[in-house]
Amino acid sequence: MATRVLTGRAMRLAMREHIGAFVAVQSVLLFVALMIDFAESFDSIQAAAEGRSMLLVLGEYTLYRATDIVTRLLPVAALLGAFLAEIRRRALLETVILASVGVSALPTFAALAWIGLATGALEWKLQRDWRPAAVFAQVELGAGDYAERFAQGLTDDQTWFVQDDRAIAGQVLVGPRPELRNVSYFEGLTGLGFDRLIRADAVRPLEGGIWRFEDAEVWTADGRTRLIGDPVDSLDLPLWITPERLEYLRPSPFYLPQDVLLARAAAMPGDPEIETTIWRRATIFLLPGLFAFLGASLAMTGFRGRVTRVPILVAMAFGGYLVTLSLKVFLALGEQGAMAAPAAVLVPALLALAITLTLQWLLNKESKGRRLPLG
């Protein structure tokens, strides 16, 4: 019996419908998002294609943007696809016929479990590896919004890095060989001043956390109110910042490659945005499957026998939208430190699970003849 539930004909029928609906929804969402993006980014795509084949650049850009868009919209497609698949199965009387011969919803949920495993693994890989690679490949291509936001080169403004009683400020040369320019480095900072100030034209990384200050001046307090300056050609000092921190200066943690993210987490323990991103990537595989279960359960609630309860279906669709919206809300709370990272990441998944179990419990009671307040 268990084998038939997991692999039988009813399960295969449900899987076919749900895969088709998921692919259709994901394709529509991707197409719409790409068309909006092309309208906004076409000028930069043309600029990037100067001296190259426009078709090749456009194809490359489309691949990178599609990877990014699918990563963000896959859980939504899982929920909406399952919702529409169950409505279509009901319209074709497939679920009515199966129920009339005593087949429960278990084959449907077995199909959703298989699909959830596949889409969960895909989403995990996208979040962890493929999306960051696509984002920075787009930056290298020089087209689109990411290329503008994360462009390599010298920053216009100074950036500050602070740790305990030390601080360093300078313009950052963003790129594979990052460095600081026009630098001011303060030691012994207190509410009343500092013990030493080093100004340098450039600060470049060496090995082992050592940085070289070039064409520097060392200004030391003399114990009164004066600073005594001492020019030096170069000075090697340990700093807490890493070359990777400068190379990936502008991107938020959720854009970073996994190795860079973990290195930054080690260098900045307790940072809520980094912790939330790590937890998100570690648990994201749960979301597509749980959202698919939720979408199917929401759709099932809209029917009683052969009666379609349209107001209930509309209300369930709106409820599903609110759950997907909660993803951004709770992630923002985690990234801002207003909520612990594990809670911020897991609450939407647990909310989807709780609603699914509640709806299935109500549907089970209703199937046994007990009238429930579902319309």
Contacts of 129 (CB under 8 A, 6+ apart): 257, 258
Q: Give domain limits for the chain.
A: 2-147+271-367, 153-247
Angle at 84 between CA 80 and CA 86, to 5 degrees: 120
Q: Exposure of 86 by Cβ count < 10 A (0-12 exposed, 13-18 middle, 19+ buried)? A: buried
Do residues 300 and 359 touch, judged by C-beta distance below 8 A? yes
- Distance separating alpha carbons of residues 147 and 139, to the nearest angstrom: 4
Is the torsion defined by CA of 14, 18, 21, 24 positive or negative? Answer: negative
Do residues 258 and 278 touch, judged by C-beta distance below 8 A? no
CB atoms near residue 199 (< 10 Å): 17
- Distance separating alpha carbons of residues 68 and 30, to the nearest angstrom: 10
The pTM of the full predicted model, rounded to 2 decimals, is: 0.87
Please list the pLDDT of the chain residue by residue as tens digits (375 residues): 455 556 678 888 999 999 999 999 999 999 999 999 999 999 999 999 898 999 999 999 999 999 999 999 999 999 999 999 999 999 888 877 777 776 778 889 999 999 999 999 999 999 999 999 999 999 999 999 999 999 889 999 999 999 889 999 999 999 889 999 999 999 988 777 788 899 999 999 999 899 999 999 998 876 666 677 788 889 999 999 999 999 999 999 999 999 999 999 988 889 999 999 999 999 999 999 999 999 999 999 988 767 788 888 999 999 999 999 999 999 999 999 999 999 999 999 999 999 999 999 988 887 766 554 444
In 3D space, the residue among 253, 254, 272, 255 whose CA is nearest the CA of residue 264 turns out to be 253
Going through 224-372 in order, the beta strands assigned E by DSSP cover 227-238, 303-304, 307-308
Question: 181: part of which helix (H) or strand (E)?
Answer: strand 179-187
Contacts of 113 (CB under 8 A, 6+ apart): 289
